[in-house]
Amino acid sequence: DAGITQSPRHKVTETGTPVTLRCHQTENHRYMYWYRQDPGHGLRLIHYSYGVKDTDKGEVSDGYSVSRSKTEDFLLTLESATSSQTSVYFCAISENRDRAYGYTFGSGTRLTVV
């Protein structure tokens, strides 16, 4: 999607290994979010950021950490991947806290933990 890219698009990793997913935006939006999408659960918020070095936990943050050292990059790290973290991960951005224009989503990263 224009203005926001996720990498990698697909990844297979082994249980117990660390994994980092990257979200890059060119919109200079303040707010960035990491979600996971699983059948039967819908989208669930993992972590979000409201500025450089300002992050907070979402509803399913256990086993994940994030970092935002620049406005344009928001990294999601699975510290020690488990099979339960097999999912599709989406990054989203929004211009302001009011979210008057909704979120812009990336195309997702499909992560498989074997």
Partner 1 sequence: SQQGEEDPQALSIQEGENATMNCSYKTSINNLQWYRQNSGRGLVHLILIRSNEREKHSGRLRVTLDTSKKSSSLLITASRAADTASYFCATEYAGNNRKLIWGLGTSLAVNP
Q: Which residues bind partner 1 (CB under 8 A)?
A: 1, 40-45, 90, 92, 97, 99-108
For the bound state, the minimum distance from the C-beta of residue 31 to partner 1, rounded and expressed in Å, comes to: 11
User: 66 or 91: whose CB is closer to partner 1?
Assistant: 91
Question: Tokens 């303040």, residue?
Answer: 30
For the bound state, the minimum distance from the C-beta of residue 29 to partner 1, rounded and expressed in Å, comes to: 13
Q: Which backbone phi and psi does 83 adopt, to 5 degrees?
A: -60, -30
Return the C-alpha torsion angle 68, 91, 36, 47, nearest 10. Answer: 30
For the bound state, the minimum distance from the C-beta of residue 5 to partner 1, rounded and expressed in Å, comes to: 11
User: 70 or 99: whose CB is closer to partner 1?
Assistant: 99
Q: Helix, strand or coil for residue 86?
A: coil
